[in-house]
Structure 1
Amino acid sequence: MAILTRAGRIALAKSIKQEDIYLAWGQGAIEWDNQLPPEQSASTQLTSTLGYRKATRVLYCEVDQENGEIQVPNGRYKIVDYPTPHLYCQFNYDFEDGLSKTVRELGLMVGTKPNADVPNGKPYLLPSEVSQIGTLMLLEHRPAIYRDQGVRESFEFVISF
């Protein structure tokens, strides 16, 4: 039986880290307020995308259950300055991103490309400003978040290869 080695996992993390990473958020379906549907591994996009936020930080990390400063549902990690099979991705939305919308789904996208007429470096993209949505690497359905004035949403994920 073949295995994916640690060196192979690190190579995958290095490759992904070189790409633009965005977090797409979407409205999902109102029926999800009663019961969230399971995420499907065959999914390629969100149900109803509101926008895409470019990652604020993408860093290598490693497991540190006792002292890790990064806490995500699957454990604690610490930032390191060398390649590992784990990538920490942080996304900080601005106050006006998705204002007055309800968010029920998140998708970590790799390779999202803005339209040619979008100003270079614009961190938040509307669906109409995207020429290529990229590859959906992570999908999360979540309880509804209403985007209200004065609230700045932040999300953190650790992707392990």
Structure 2
Amino acid sequence: MATITTPRLTLSPFEPSDWPFFRALREAPEIMRYMAAIAPETETRRQFAARLTTPHTFVIRAHDDATPLGDIGLQISSRYREEADIGYTVIPAAQGRGIASEALRAVCEYAFIQVGVKAVNAYVLGENGGSVRVLEKAGFVRTQVLEQAYEINGVRYDDWVYRLESGAA
């Protein structure tokens, strides 16, 4: 599996030792409020096990520090092999420092050049202003608003669809 480096970051495949980080991230209400309901530990373990074998999923770290700052990953469409969905999460202490933007740009470049993807899609809750800014700063364009399409803990939210095409970044 690939490792991606940027001026400040190393994006490396998940290792079994990343479990405490992954669990803490998926149990943090301030993070999960924009993603999903906090799942039982058995489901979180299942998701983590999948990360260990799924290509194009990475833990984000600074070059000079082994502490995980977040995660990011691509999921290649099974129907349209030249398209992928992307998702990312950054711990609160690393937010607002350009970490998500740098990782997002790097993984999109990797998708276009190494994987052969022609378009990357992202879904974000309209209320997640930080993530909206990250996507737009990276050149993603909002293509659709799915009104009240996503539910977390019994509350329905608008889901915004963004897209970046190869050569547009």
TM-score norm. by structure 2 comes to 0.23
Q: Which has the higher helix share?
A: 2
TM-score norm. by structure 1 comes to 0.24
Q: Which has the higher strand share?
A: 1
